[in-house]
């Protein structure tokens, strides 16, 4: 899934005057401060994947709304780097801005660091707001430019001097959920973190990653849309816990909770002074991927490089491996969520062409249905509802003002999810709403096979997602088709819909650490086909890692489905399936009906579901 807003506008190429004017004002500021190149990602002070509107400077200066991308600007050029999920979207959104698109990973396309190394001259200045650049990225740029005598200006946010109507920094009340939902108290989790700190020979640890802090404290917030987190930092020692948060976010209940749990509260904006003035007697655990460059430089100056120990946040892996209480709740939440999705699919198929229906109204219908479920908190991301060629943009989102009509022909792709008391869901189904071509059926069948093959995997303990990705891609690679993204991501527990550190990807990436898949992890399984101007297909189930047999060859693992919603048989072409594939689909559909039908009260929908999950044959 993904969360970005994109609206498709047709017509002749036009100049984007607003963006060009903003770039001109920014270049004037660059000249004023002696900055030759200025870099802006879309990130907040915590390297979050999705950022609040306050932090969307890159979007403001390019028009590109995707969640991943970095723009670099010089006096007479601007370039945007983004990944394969956004190539189609970015090309359309930056049209007429004068910004050049660099398609990351494509042959012949320089990386951002390579471009800067090849184009910056000795003695020039590279500027950026160090609070929104991850330390690992900043250090990578330092390394790339070390022979160029380039200097860095990272203490100014130039966007803030140009962006006159910038939204306010988000500030919403923190809340707590029932303690029994978590399976472990804050103090128990903190003891586990301190144990890892001692293993790393560290007596303090700076934690900046928002969902890690939220998971650790068992608190939740509302500072990022659809991500229940609060802007915050935590500084942990072997006997202290310092919590930096905006004072207005603290209710009396949260203040009492902090007092009861020996949490010392500070204002969010005091963290840099705290780090500068702290007396460091031992080593400090730092995750370079998850603290910003300014914070890193502050720690480096205050403590010295010999006291910084670089390793992953212990919380990253701890929160990825769900405990028994969490998994029990997650399974129950996914069944209820799947039942509601089935009801929505029935609504689409029985009403398309009979009542007014468009991408936006369909999304709103599903959102309202999901909100009826017990324990609903919020959507886990804005629903993606993409009809026809719009579905070829992986991260398309219709709006009230700009959307396509859903006609009784082709397909509607719907990627959606919710956060509930007991779990966070994510699911995609591509729904046939009318006649489709044989080519589309071929692509749909290949996508279905990829999802089922991965979910059916048996593998030895020690495998990572990279060992397994080919199972999802092979049916599509056999058709000379690929999708320009990973196959799977972790999902948070009443937290962010995208979670690491594990994933399922095919490509080796130098410097990117891989994590073995272990029981308690959940991961998405979402192959797809995206044909620009024609159609897009994605089928996404969430699966959990489970133990299999153990013998002389080792401990075997496998997956079990958490998502139970029908595959659209109208788009299945059995000529592309072996008997084993048909058996897999029939077994899955049998489980869908058995698990979901008892939750559906409308007999007409139960009868429809029975038909949708009927056994098929060659």
User: What would the pLDDT profile of 265-290 be if each residue is shown by its tens digit?
Assistant: 999 999 999 999 999 999 999 999 89
CATH of the domain at 578: 3.90.230.10
415 and 305 in one domain? Answer: no
pLDDT for position 13: 62
pLDDT in tens, 286-322: 999 899 999 999 999 999 999 999 999 999 999 999 9
Q: Is residue 8 part of a domain?
A: no
Closest of 180, 157, 179 to residue 169, by C-alpha: 157
Q: Is residue 2 part of a domain?
A: no
Range of the domain at 35: 17-162
219-220 and 175-176 strand pairing: antiparallel
Q: Is residue 170 part of a domain?
A: no
pLDDT in tens, 45-70: 998 888 899 999 999 999 999 889 99
Q: Domain end: 108, 134, 162, which one?
A: 162
Does 11 have pLDDT greater than 70? Answer: no
281 and 337 in one domain? Answer: no
455 and 513 in one domain? Answer: yes
Please state, rounded to an integer, the average pLDDT across all residues of the chain.
Answer: 95
395 and 291 in one domain? Answer: no
CATH of the domain at 192: 3.40.350.10
pLDDT for position 4: 34
548 and 437 in one domain? Answer: yes
pLDDT > 70 fraction of the chain, expressed in percent and rounded:
98
225 and 137 in one domain? Answer: no
pLDDT for position 84: 87
Does 129 have pLDDT greater than 90? Answer: yes
Q: Domain end: 315, 350, 384, which one?
A: 315
Non-local (6+) Cβ contacts of 244 within 8 A are: 232, 233, 234, 235, 266, 267, 268, 270, 271, 274
- What is the domain count for the chain? 3
Does 8 have pLDDT greater than 70? Answer: no
Q: Where are the beta strands (DSSP E) in 239-283?
A: 241-245, 264-267
pLDDT for position 600: 98
pLDDT for position 133: 95
Using a cut of 0.85, tell me whether the model's pTM lies above it. yes
Q: Where are the beta strands (DSSP E) in 399-493?
A: 411-416, 418-420, 423-424, 427-432, 458-460, 488-490
What angle do helix axes 293-303 and 135-144 make, rounded to 10 degrees? 80
pLDDT for position 143: 94
Structure tokens at 322: 């769900």
> C-alpha angle with apex 104: 98 to 107, nearest 5 degrees?
105
Q: Is 344 exposed, middle or buried (0-12, 13-18, 19+ CB in 10 A)?
A: buried
Q: Is residue 99 part of a domain?
A: yes
Using CA atoms, how far apart are residues 148 and 151, in angstroms rounded to an integer?
9
CB 296 within 8 A of CB 305: no
Facing residues of 78 across strands? 73
Three-state DSSP string of 489-518: EECCCCCCCCEEEEEECCCCCCCCCCCECC
What values do phi and psi take at 260, rounded to 5? -65, -25
555 and 506 in one domain? Answer: yes
380 and 258 in one domain? Answer: no
Q: List, as one string, the DSSP characters of 312-342.
A: --HHHHHHHS--HHHHHHHHHHHHHHHHHHH
393 and 302 in one domain? Answer: no
525 and 565 in one domain? Answer: yes
Residue 231 is classified by DSSP as S
Q: Is residue 4 part of a domain?
A: no
Does 343 have pLDDT greater than 80? Answer: yes
Structure tokens at 416: 């959606």
pLDDT for position 138: 95
pLDDT in tens, 482-537: 998 999 999 999 999 999 999 999 998 887 889 999 999 999 999 999 999 999 99
Q: Is residue 1 part of a domain?
A: no
158 and 258 in one domain? Answer: no
pLDDT for position 47: 87
Burial 412-421 (b: 16+ CB within 10 A, else e): bbbbbbbbbe
Q: Is residue 153 part of a domain?
A: yes
357 and 278 in one domain? Answer: no
Structure tokens at 515: 């994590």
Q: Is residue 562 part of a domain?
A: yes
Q: Domain end: 141, 162, 183, which one?
A: 162
Separation of CA 83 from chain center:
13
């Amino acid at each position: 899934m993904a969360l970005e807003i994109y609206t498709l506008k047709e017509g002749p190429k036009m100049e984007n005057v607003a963006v060009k004017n903003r770039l001109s004002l920014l270049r004037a500021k660059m000249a004023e401060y002696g900055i030759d190149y200025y870099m802006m990602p879309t990130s907040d002070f915590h390297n979050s994947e999705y950022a609040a509107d306050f932090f969307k400077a890159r979007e403001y200066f390019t028009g590109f709304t995707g969640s991943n991308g970095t723009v670099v600007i010089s006096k007479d050029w601007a370039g945007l780097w983004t990944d394969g999920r956004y190539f189609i979207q970015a090309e359309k959104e930056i049209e007429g801005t004068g910004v050049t698109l660099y398609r990351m990973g494509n042959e012949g396309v320089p990386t951002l660091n390579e471009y800067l190394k090849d184009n910056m001259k000795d003695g020039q200045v590279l500027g950026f707001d160090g609070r929104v650049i991850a330390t690992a990225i900043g250090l990578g740029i330092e390394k790339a430019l070390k022979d160029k005598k380039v200097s860095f200006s990272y203490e100014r946010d130039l966007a803030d001097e140009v962006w006159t109507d910038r939204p306010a920094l988000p500030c919403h009340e923190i809340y707590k959920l029932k303690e029994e939902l978590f399976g472990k108290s804050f103090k128990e989790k903190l003891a586990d973190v301190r144990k890892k700190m001692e293993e790393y020979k560290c007596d303090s640890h700076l934690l900046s990653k928002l969902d890690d802090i939220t998971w650790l404290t068992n608190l939740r917030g509302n500072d990022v849309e659809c991500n229940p987190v609060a802007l915050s930092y935590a500084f942990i020692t072997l006997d202290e816990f310092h919590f930096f948060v905006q004072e207005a976010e603290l209710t009396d209940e949260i203040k009492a909770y902090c007092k009861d749990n020996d949490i010392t509260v500070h204002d969010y904006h005091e963290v840099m002074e705290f780090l500068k003035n702290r007396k460091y007697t031992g080593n400090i655990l730092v995750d370079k991927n998850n603290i910003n460059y300014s914070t890193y430089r502050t720690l480096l100056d205050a403590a010295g490089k010999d006291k910084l120990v670089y390793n992953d946040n212990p919380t990253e892996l701890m929160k990825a491996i769900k405990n028994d209480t969490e998994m029990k709740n997650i399974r129950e939440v996914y069944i209820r969520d799947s039942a509601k999705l089935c009801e929505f699919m029935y609504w689409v198929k029985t009403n398309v062409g009979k009542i007014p229906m468009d991408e936006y109204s369909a999304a709103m219908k599903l959102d309202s249905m999901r909100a009826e479920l017990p324990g609903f908190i919020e959507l886990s991301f804005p629903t993606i509802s993409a009809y026809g060629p719009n579905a070829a943009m992986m991260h398309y989102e219709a709006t009230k003002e700009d959307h396509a009509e859903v006609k009784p022909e082709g397909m509607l792709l719907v990627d959606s999810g919710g956060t509930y008391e007991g779990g966070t869901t994510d699911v995609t189904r591509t729904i046939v709403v009318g006649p489709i071509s044989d080519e589309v059926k071929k692509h749909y069948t290949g996508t279905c096979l990829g999802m089922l093959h991965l979910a059916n995997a048996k593998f030895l303990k020690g495998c990572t997602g990279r060992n397994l990705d080919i199972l999802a891609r092979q049916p599509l690679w056999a058709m000379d088709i690929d999708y320009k993204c990973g196959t799977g991501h972790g999902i948070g527990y009443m937290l962010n819909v995208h979670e690491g550190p594990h994933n399922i990807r095919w490509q080796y990436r130098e410097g990117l650490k891989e994590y073995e898949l272990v029981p308690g992890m959940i991961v998405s399984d979402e192959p797809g086909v995206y044909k620009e101007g024609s159609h897009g297909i994605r089928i996404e189930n969430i699966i959990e890692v489970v133990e299999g047999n153990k013998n002389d060859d080792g401990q075997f693992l496998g997956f079990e489905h958490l998502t139970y919603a029908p595959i659209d048989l109208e788009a299945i072409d059995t000529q592309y399936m072996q008997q084993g594939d048909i058996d897999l689909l029939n077994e899955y559909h049998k489980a869908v009906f058995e698990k979901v039908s008892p939750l559906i009260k409308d007999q007409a929908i139960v009868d429809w579901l029975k038909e949708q999950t009927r056994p098929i044959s060659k």
